[in-house]
Amino acid sequence: MGAIKRIGILTGGGDCPGLNAVIRAVTRSAHGAGMEVVGIMEGFGGLVNGLWRLLDEKDVTGILPRGGTILGTSNRDNPFNYCVRYEGDQPIFEDCSEVALENLEKMGVEALVVVGGDGSLHIALGLSDRGARVVGVPKTIDNDVGGTDVTFGFDSAVITATEAIDKLHTTAESHHRVMVLEVMGRNSGWIALMAGMAGGGDVILIPEIPFTFVGIAASISERRERGKRFSIIVVAEGAVLPGGEPVSRVSAAGTTILGGVGEVVAREVEARASLETRVTVLGHLQRGGSPSPFDRNLATRFGVKAVELILDGKFGMMTSLRTPDIGHVPIAEAVAARKTVPPDGDLVSTARAVGTSFGD
Amino acid sequence: MGAIKRIGILTGGGDCPGLNAVIRAVTRSAHGAGMEVVGIMEGFGGLVNGLWRLLDEKDVTGILPRGGTILGTSNRDNPFNYCVRYEGDQPIFEDCSEVALENLEKMGVEALVVVGGDGSLHIALGLSDRGARVVGVPKTIDNDVGGTDVTFGFDSAVITATEAIDKLHTTAESHHRVMVLEVMGRNSGWIALMAGMAGGGDVILIPEIPFTFVGIAASISERRERGKRFSIIVVAEGAVLPGGEPVSRVSAAGTTILGGVGEVVAREVEARASLETRVTVLGHLQRGGSPSPFDRNLATRFGVKAVELILDGKFGMMTSLRTPDIGHVPIAEAVAARKTVPPDGDLVSTARAVGTSFGD
Amino acid sequence: MGAIKRIGILTGGGDCPGLNAVIRAVTRSAHGAGMEVVGIMEGFGGLVNGLWRLLDEKDVTGILPRGGTILGTSNRDNPFNYCVRYEGDQPIFEDCSEVALENLEKMGVEALVVVGGDGSLHIALGLSDRGARVVGVPKTIDNDVGGTDVTFGFDSAVITATEAIDKLHTTAESHHRVMVLEVMGRNSGWIALMAGMAGGGDVILIPEIPFTFVGIAASISERRERGKRFSIIVVAEGAVLPGGEPVSRVSAAGTTILGGVGEVVAREVEARASLETRVTVLGHLQRGGSPSPFDRNLATRFGVKAVELILDGKFGMMTSLRTPDIGHVPIAEAVAARKTVPPDGDLVSTARAVGTSFGD
Amino acid sequence: MGAIKRIGILTGGGDCPGLNAVIRAVTRSAHGAGMEVVGIMEGFGGLVNGLWRLLDEKDVTGILPRGGTILGTSNRDNPFNYCVRYEGDQPIFEDCSEVALENLEKMGVEALVVVGGDGSLHIALGLSDRGARVVGVPKTIDNDVGGTDVTFGFDSAVITATEAIDKLHTTAESHHRVMVLEVMGRNSGWIALMAGMAGGGDVILIPEIPFTFVGIAASISERRERGKRFSIIVVAEGAVLPGGEPVSRVSAAGTTILGGVGEVVAREVEARASLETRVTVLGHLQRGGSPSPFDRNLATRFGVKAVELILDGKFGMMTSLRTPDIGHVPIAEAVAARKTVPPDGDLVSTARAVGTSFGD
């Protein structure tokens, strides 16, 4: 094989601050190495459907500070389970990864950079197994991808969530209320923990440490005894009760409560602690906005590293931060295990030392 | 009557960026005029219960940029309907405004500054009618108090809501989605309108202009025809259907949908426009955080004016912004009518001219 | 004359948050009225040099929250004093407004929207006098244009300056220092006054109220006696000594000090008050960044109004905010007098009432 | 020796976002371990002068998000060179560390936490050598302290500098100008490098990579050839010419230019590239404001760790981040060498790969 002349890049999964910084870095450093860059639109769906265009310098000028992705993305499009065939009225989704591979060839793409989270990296691995030359760049605001100290997007999400806690503090204090903030984190509590610590949250509920309503109420009572008549509760959407029971099934008075875990926690606390309680669900605000400088720089370093991996022929690899260095790990290794908060680790014990309760 | 030696100040109703700036301005300018200032804690509840302390310079140093209120506030405590008597198990709330008036005398407060919204100003008027010397300072993030161009708190709330729309734009564009943002405004659409215009919202739903689901769907379709595959919908919590029917009663498929108007709109749009839709409810984030410079200055001007009104013996009056001047109006006149968005006014027609739909 | 089919727009003078919002509003509402819009590049220089292109919807999509101007601008290009002829080595600048007028005709532009400050509006008036159909939109971060309550850009500049004061407070307090912040305002003190009040500046120096170094030192001493060992001084670049003497000519010890007024004030204060003093010059940061929601909305309203003025044949007019309405005034009237801070007005007396010194 | 009953804490050197978070964390976790905490005011000066007070929970409530230090600090007070004796008119500064040690004993302080940068840590080491039980917490916005991945304050400073670059971009683009931003970094280029990369700076000048004016001009010309008519130059205050010659000695036309390196660079570029150039000096804005979530969390972890080191009897040690863990290193080791940007490292080569010039 001769020198690679054209590479492709796609962004998959939920949008995340820093995606554009990766696209810019990949494009510029590939151009600097004499390669062309094909932007594949709308994630893996666009790969199957053949949506693409050549990226030039003008496309990536000015995108560094912008959230989102100029390539578009899609959450659910998996080439291994995508093409539709009908049996009667019933749609059957089938593997059409062959089409994806053919399209890469049609585009003249000799190596592909896949920027994505757990799901996208699994697909990248599948394409790699079928012969595609793929390099991965990890992306998740949840920080639950293994094989790297951290991914871009996480710092920005923590900043957004911390600003929200800062804002809720004024209402909580002025009204002697309990304010509940629900943040992202279905499987891991990183955002809740880091934003909760940074915002001075009084109770932090995360999937890794099951909580009880009795535990929360005890913390709030204990605060009240010390003269603090308000509390801030930060809860990850995936917080669970002992035994891993999901919160949304539980009810205050025997009936089922609709709404997310934040709503449930708020109603229980109100009932048990006789304090007015309000809930805020941050939702997609955590994905939006201009990436933080940390995320812009990490994304830029990952992008440049991805091109280096291609030039070095290190396919099937994912870029990785091993502070202070950028390195690489096999994609297979990175996706093998989600990264979760160690319940007995230094971060949790630090939070406890400054007075935070985990409701346990 | 001789010169006034001691005045009181209380903050009532929901917290709002700028309250501390008023407290600082009242305290400093009263001190400058040789008067003492009593801070009454926790709104009208504290007035009845006799919670107060003298404010000195140290109390108000450094509070200008801080949200909330150092005096605390309460939402529902109305002296005219506050003291509890039981008939059997049944609590009966009775007028104890007499206690409030007695407490003012005990504190030596010769004139009272009430900082509050519609509800608090009504109470202030009641106390005034019973002989108290009261001056009002209007406060509402909703901007629905009459008699003044605008109140402090509103600009800060619009900034928070606009930043949220800016953040949602990146997700909307990257995913070709409809993003719904529910903002405050039970009776008026000011926040939705001004933040919606500032954020480039595609559809804005406000109480003053009833909308239909057909109207929203038409706007989204029309955008799609022009190649725009995402939309931002900003909806005030008090948005209504034709005939003033509240939105939360309506259901997508014959069943009742729980959740606020944002949730209902999102589900209907998803069903009608076949576009993925996500909803964010801003909630109390709109009340929090450091006040904007505009709000800090307006609050400071109101505070200084309130002390002037006392010195001039103009009781029963409320401070008022008549750009560029600060003046005063009778409290009775200000609370007589809520200020709502004129549906045929210049603001709405401007929004329409740049392509915004009101779903009508 | 029949209906106007094509209008032009140019942005002149220093850049300012909100220019893009005007361009978007003019383009969209003109399109809505069936007219084409020509964007003239790089201000009046581009008008003489014939730099222009048709603006379509895609050009103005997504520009609402962006600072700067997509059309470019120029500070000094005046068609009445622009074309160069040489006498020997000496360049002579001559009137070539004729070329500007001819270019408008070549472009097919039947009416021109000029967005600019004092200088640009004077040029607009000159072109109007020579027969061009011109409508003005006032723009200045300094807020010194007459005929309107306020212009867009000012609120954003005040926010940037206030954030700077908020930041300087932490260093001032921690170190018992005097921190000097120099802000824009060559002829008027609006930014210094409004940001100074909002940030709790202890001393505010503006062109409208001459100050003395003795006056500043007295304020700082008086603060120290009250136990406050730090001070924040906010100074407009055009602040003057009694008799209107510019500050930069004055020296601490008989020698000339280079640098702006902030530097001079800092050195004098350090010498007289024996307090460590640091100076920060905000400079162009005040022009940059995303416009505030207030500025985006005012700019949008001005843009829509400008098109209305064209449709109504009201040429030679400038858009104007008369809170809460948008109206218009003759450009000639607006540029006749700069708007300055009334030294005995309500704003200055309010600032004094909360303890601010003007160094006088 | 029995269990320690009372510890002290002081903050030395320039103020830095995160100091209050350390004070809060030390106080809370010491209280949790049954120890009292003495806050020594105004750095080492306060230690010699005996300024201190016991810290209780109320002192540290609400300080987590605040910049500065509630204890105050001083830049230059070194007990080893502090007490003044006069020989005639000549002040002689003498070692009075003995007084500092005696004061610790008077306060009943059995172990001291010193939060500071290079200078303060050297003093801590000196006191440790004379028998005091000292633990260090590194603090510097410059990121030049060795022995730890990073210190708190740096991330906040980079955010402030990056926001400034984002703002300058709009003016640069609108006016086709060169904008120069001077940031902190006398001995190391970390802030300039990380903010410059995050903000998309075109030229970054740092002490570790000597630059030439020819080099800068070449980069700007090369950009112009690619159609980019503006440039952003980010320059550390300690940037040097080849041979380590300081920039401020150099002049454009044979004369000496006053002002910092930013000013000199701007004038040279203007002269060589015939482009309008503007300079902004960020100064103390980089030290101010609310700490970023990252800095709040790192500061909290350092504070808790410092108390652990005391409980474990590990004196003479400094807390340290070894991602993802918090550990400790001998203070002596940490202060032995400043941490500077590796000129041939991964960060610099990444910046070059995306098109950044270092003017070399």
Task: Flag whether pLDDT at B26 surpasses 60.
Answer: yes
Are C353 and B158 within 8 A, CB to CB? no
**C92 and C213 together in one domain:** no
The set of chains that have 3 or more CB pairs under 8 A with C is B, D
**C273 and C165 together in one domain:** yes
If DSSP codes are grouped into helix, strand and coil, which group holds residue B123? Answer: helix
D327 belongs to a structural domain: yes
Are B278 and A283 within 8 A, CB to CB? yes
3-class SS string, B308-354:
HHHHCCCCCEEEEEECCEEEEEEHHHHHHCCCCCCCCCHHHHHHHHC
Instruction: Give the best residue of A300, A344, A347 to mutate against chain D (max D CB count within 10 A).
Output: A300
pLDDT of residue C12: 95
A231 belongs to a structural domain: yes
Residues in chain B within 8 Å Cβ distance of A179: 284
Task: Flag whether pLDDT at B255 surpasses 80.
Answer: no
How close is the nearest chain D Cα to the Cα of A317, in Å?
19
CA distances from B243 to A120, B207, C119, D129 (A): 48, 11, 52, 82
Instruction: Give the best residue of B285, B286, B295 to mutate against chain A (max A CB count within 10 A).
Output: B285
pLDDT of residue B213: 95
Residue in chain D lying closest to A64 (CA):
D200
How close is the nearest chain C Cα to the Cα of B124, in Å?
25
A342 belongs to a structural domain: no
| Beta carbons of B235 and B182 less than 8 angstroms apart | yes
**Nearest CB neighbour to A170, from listed B166, B280, B288:** B288
Domain count, chain D: 2
Are C304 and B354 within 8 A, CB to CB? yes
**C282 and C179 together in one domain:** yes
DSSP code for A117: S
D266: its two tokens: 């701007």
pLDDT of residue C252: 45
- What's the residue count for chain C? 360
**B172 and B136 together in one domain:** no
Residues in chain D within 8 Å Cβ distance of A57: 226
Chain B residues at the A interface, defined by Cβ less than 8 Å, are 14-15, 17, 19, 42, 66-69, 72-75, 160, 163-164, 166-171, 173-176, 179, 258-259, 278-285, 287-289
Q: What is the b/e burial string over B309-330, where b = at least 16 CB atoms within 10 angstroms of the residue's CB?
A: bbbeeebbbbbbbeeeebebbb
D343 belongs to a structural domain: no
pLDDT band at C205 (very low <50, low <70, confident <90, very high): very high
**B57 and B111 together in one domain:** yes
Task: Flag whether pLDDT at C167 surpasses 60.
Answer: yes
How close is the nearest chain A Cα to the Cα of D281, in Å?
20
| CA distance linking residue C348 with residue C340, whole number of Å | 12
CATH number of residue A211's parent domain:
3.40.50.460
Q: What is the mean pLDDT of each run of 10 residues along chain D (360 residues)?
A: 90 95 98 98 95 97 95 89 84 90 97 96 96 97 94 98 96 90 95 98 98 95 91 96 76 54 91 88 93 98 98 98 96 92 97 97
pLDDT band at B259 (very low <50, low <70, confident <90, very high): low
**D130 and D186 together in one domain:** no
First-to-last C-alpha distance (Å) of chain A: 59
Residues in chain B within 8 Å Cβ distance of C57: 226
Residues in chain C within 8 Å Cβ distance of B157: none
B343 belongs to a structural domain: no
Are B346 and C301 within 8 A, CB to CB? yes
Of C287, C317, C351, which closes a domain? C287
**Nearest CB neighbour to D300, from listed A65, A197, A301:** A197
B236: its two tokens: 């005030």
Residues in chain B within 8 Å Cβ distance of C31: none
Are D355 and A194 within 8 A, CB to CB? no
Are B15 and A167 within 8 A, CB to CB? no
B133 belongs to a structural domain: yes
Residue in chain A lying closest to D347 (CA):
A301
**C11 and C146 together in one domain:** yes
Whether complex ipTM tops 0.85: yes
How close is the nearest chain B Cα to the Cα of C257, in Å?
33
**B282 and B304 together in one domain:** no
Are B160 and A167 within 8 A, CB to CB? yes
Rounded to an integer, the average pLDDT of B216-223 is 94
Instruction: Give the best residue of C284, C286, C292, C295 to mutate against chain D (max D CB count within 10 A).
Output: C284
pLDDT in tens, B317-352: 999 999 999 999 999 999 998 899 999 999 999 999
Model pTM?
A: 0.95
pLDDT of residue A250: 45
- What is the torsional sign of CA B328, B329, B332, B335? negative
Rounded to an integer, the average pLDDT of B55-65 is 96
| Beta carbons of B9 and B52 less than 8 angstroms apart | no
pLDDT in tens, B152-178: 999 999 999 999 999 999 888 888 899
The set of chains that have 3 or more CB pairs under 8 A with A is B, D
pLDDT of residue D248: 61
Are C155 and B294 within 8 A, CB to CB? yes
How close is the nearest chain D Cα to the Cα of A98, in Å?
34
Catalytic residue numbers of A read 142
Q: Which domain holds residue C74?
A: 6-152+291-334
Catalytic, out of D77, D142, D202, D295 = D142
Residues in chain B within 8 Å Cβ distance of C166: 65, 290
**B242 and B269 together in one domain:** yes
| CA distance linking residue A148 with residue A325, whole number of Å | 11
Residues in chain A within 8 Å Cβ distance of D307: 353
Mean pLDDT computed over every residue of chain C:
93
Q: What is the b/e burial string over B163-194, where b = at least 16 CB atoms within 10 angstroms of the residue's CB?
A: bbbbbbbbbbbbbbbbbbbbbbbebbbbbbbb
C316: its two tokens: 């030679």
Pick from D88, D93, D90, D91: nearest CA to D76? D93
CATH number of residue C104's parent domain:
3.40.50.450
First-to-last C-alpha distance (Å) of chain B: 59
Which of the residue ranges A58-62, B53-57, B267-271, D290-294 would you say has the lowest mean pLDDT?
Answer: B267-271
Are B355 and C28 within 8 A, CB to CB? yes
Catalytic, out of B15, B77, B118, B142 = B142
Are A288 and B171 within 8 A, CB to CB? yes
Beta strand A83-87 with A90-94 is antiparallel
pLDDT of residue B6: 98
**A243 and A124 together in one domain:** no
If DSSP codes are grouped into helix, strand and coil, which group holds residue B90? Answer: strand
Distance between alpha carbon D55 and the CA centroid of its chain, in Å?
26
Are C300 and B194 within 8 A, CB to CB? no
Are B346 and C32 within 8 A, CB to CB? no
pLDDT in tens, A43-91: 999 999 999 999 999 999 999 999 999 999 988 789 998 888 888 888 8
Report residues of chain A scoring pLDDT below 50: 249-255
B213: its two tokens: 């689901």
pLDDT of residue B248: 61
B354 belongs to a structural domain: no
CA distances from C208 to B189, C146, C219, C344, D46 (A): 40, 16, 19, 10, 43
C359 belongs to a structural domain: no
Catalytic residue numbers of C read 142
Task: Flag whether pLDDT at C251 surpasses 60.
Answer: no
| Beta carbons of D164 and D181 less than 8 angstroms apart | yes
3-class SS string, chain C:
CCCCCEEEEEECCCCCCCHHHHHHHHHHHHHHCCCEEEEECCHHHHHHHCCEEECCHHHHCCCCCCCCCCCCCCCCCCHHHCEEEEECCEEEEECCHHHHHHHHHHHCCCEEEEEECHHHHHHHHHHHHCCCCEEEEEECCCCCCCCCCCCECHHHHHHHHHHHHHHHHHHHHHHCCEEEEEECCCCCCHHHHHHHHHHCCCEEEECCECCCHHHHHHHHHHHHHCCCCCEEEEEECCCECHHHCEHHHCCCCCCCCCCCHHHHHHHHHHHHHCCCEEEEECHHHHHCCCCCHHHHHHHHHHHHHHHHHHHCCCCCEEEEEECCEEEEEEHHHHHHCCCCCCCCCHHHHHHHHCCCECCC
Question: Interior CA angle at B153 toward B149 and B159, to 5°?
Answer: 100
Are B324 and C28 within 8 A, CB to CB? no
**C46 and C11 together in one domain:** yes
Residue A276 phi, psi (nearest 5) = -60, 135
Token pair 């991602």 is found at: D323
How close is the nearest chain B Cα to the Cα of A164, in Å?
6
Q: H or E stretch including A304?
A: helix A293-311
**B167 and B101 together in one domain:** no
